[in-house]
Amino acid sequence: MNSSAILTHDGARLPSRQPTQLSASSPARYVLPALTTESRRLARAWLLLALAALLGSGLFSVLLVLARTPGVNAWLPAGDFFRVALVVHVDLSVLVWFVSIAGLLWSINLRPTASTGVQLASRLPLLLCGLGALGMAVAAFVDPGEAIMANYIPVLDSATFRAALGVFGVGSLCLVLLAMARAKRIGPAVDGTGALRFGLHASAVAGGVALLAFAWSLLEVPAELPATAYYEILFWGGGHALQFTWTLLMLVSWLVLVQACGGRVPLSPRVVLLLFAVALVSVFVTPLIYLMHDVSSVEHRHMHTLAMRYGGGLAIAPLMLAVLWALAPLRGLAPQKRPLRGALLTSMLLFSAGGIIGLGINGSNVRIPAHYHGSIVGVTLALMGVIYWLLPRLGYAAAKGRMAVLQPWLYGGGQLLHIIGLVWSGGYGVQRKVAGAEQVLRSNSEIAGMGLMGLGGLLAIVGGLMFALVVIAAMRSRPGAAAGRECTS
């Protein structure tokens, strides 16, 4: 091989005379910042918490089935354990999972430091979030209280669960402050990596706005309200703002994945940075809504819905089209790139489906969970894909094999069937947040729709388990430190 060749981030070899030509005529390369020793260790720890949350949510999904099984449910804690298990399942699979992956990605964006004290302090958010997540799971067995199916963050109305959620919230606040205080500077010459850094920083700012909204609601929500109304209002404003955090992380992941597949995004880094900024500006509508309307008012609730429904569209649509344009000419991808493409395509499909369904919501029926399942799973698939991409860079083996290729399609396809069944049933007025006989399925069409929903949900559970197995297998067969360093080049 020519001794003057250089190694790019994805292993391609280029003659040393080409960098000048690339900077002048080639599209920007959207890759995440190189990992330092500290950021790699911190990112690995957050990945472990994310996997623990997924496995824990899977355990509670099994308990959901057992809670409905005659005879077996007698061995479970007394009361409505089905809803108790559902609360913890949702919080682990959405809240803890998303915050953990945010911690992983924000860790990559931290400025290096030689201070041992600062490095130790950087692990405090991880410790608090881990303790909070464990406390929420334990509360289901030792102090369940009443299960409140509030939007965004369902809760168990018990002292143990509230304390655990509070610890998790403090950990999330420390994480956001860490991500903003130690974020790497972009600099005046914005390249693809710099644009992604801005996207990560913008997502942390959006998380800060969401936490501010939660605190604002906590101060203003009337304490004398019934528990269901209290928690619904408490988490409404911050929950909507939090979706911008996850969406920004998804957009960053899309760009990373399409670049990793070999696609050339037809957008300059400055245009991408501008699109991230547009999505971030939408978040700052949140405090204005709090200033304009009382938290208990219908107007407050409606304005947050409108902000989420239309606020991010100006940023998401152009970036999605650019990613699809970059993917279109790609053929015959290498085996290790196919899971990345599968995660990217299914992410865009599910997120688009969720957005389209959201525009047609009318009334309180199962079309509402169809909307947010599509959007949330779209984000989840993008984050799964970027984890596959990061595994070698964290010092582990690459995600490979048929299971890795099939996983995003099974998980995404199952979730698509799930939301199609919900939309179908919602057209007949089937109500949300009910189960079993409470659903009052009156026709074969309603039964068929909910049956399709159940089949899709089962396939999605299998797909989620496959993701955990693929990642754990890669972590167990890691190639060693030398290979990890090579992958970050």
In the predicted structure, residue 489 carries a pLDDT above the cut 50 = no
Over the stretch 74-101, which tens digit does the pLDDT of each residue have?
Answer: 666 656 777 888 899 999 999 999 999 9
In this structure, are residues 150 and 232 in contact, taking their beta carbons and an 8 Å threshold? yes
In the predicted structure, residue 431 carries a pLDDT above the cut 50 = no
Over the stretch 231-286, which tens digit does the pLDDT of each residue have?
Answer: 999 999 999 899 999 999 999 999 999 999 999 999 999 999 999 999 898 899 99
Question: C-alpha distances in angstroms, 413 versus 134, 258, 424?
Answer: 31, 20, 16
Q: Residue 187's pLDDT is what?
A: 72
CA distance 35 to 485: 9
Token pair for 188: 């005046």
CA distance 455 to 417: 7
In this structure, are residues 36 and 112 in contact, taking their beta carbons and an 8 Å threshold? yes
Q: pLDDT category, 9, cuts 50, 70, 90? A: very low
Could you tell me which residue, 6 or 151, shows the higher pLDDT? 151
In the predicted structure, residue 348 carries a pLDDT above the cut 90 = yes
Residue that is written with structure tokens 């998303």 in the block: 98
**Domain spans, the chain:** 351-489
Q: Residue 10's pLDDT is what?
A: 45
Q: pLDDT category, 186, cuts 50, 70, 90? A: confident
In the predicted structure, residue 24 carries a pLDDT above the cut 90 = no
CA distance 348 to 89: 25
In the predicted structure, residue 325 carries a pLDDT above the cut 50 = yes
Could you tell me which residue, 315 or 9, shows the higher pLDDT? 315
Q: Residue 120's pLDDT is what?
A: 86
Q: Residue 425's pLDDT is what?
A: 62
Q: Residue 335's pLDDT is what?
A: 86
Q: pLDDT category, 450, cuts 50, 70, 90? A: low
In the predicted structure, residue 484 carries a pLDDT above the cut 50 = no
181-190, 385-394, 467-476: least confident range? 181-190
Q: Residue 73's pLDDT is what?
A: 56
Degrees to nearest 5, angle at CA 107 with 104 and 108 = 95
Q: State the helix-helix crossing angle for 159-181 and 97-108, rounded to 10 degrees.
A: 20
Token pair for 329: 């000419």
How confident is the prediction for the chain on average, in pLDDT?
83
Token pair for 145: 């209280």
Could you tell me which residue, 429 or 417, shows the higher pLDDT? 417
Q: Residue 435's pLDDT is what?
A: 45
CA distance 377 to 411: 9
Mean pLDDT of 201-226: 95
Mean pLDDT of 427-454: 53
CA distance 349 to 375: 10
Token pair for 289: 């809504």
Residue 41: how many CB atoms within 10 A of its CB?
A: 16
The pTM of the full predicted model, rounded to 2 decimals, is 0.86
For 20-27, the CB contacts below 8 A with 24+ separation are: 26/264, 27/264, 27/265, 27/266
CA distance 32 to 194: 9
Q: What is the percent of the chain where pLDDT is above 90?
A: 53
CA distance 371 to 368: 5
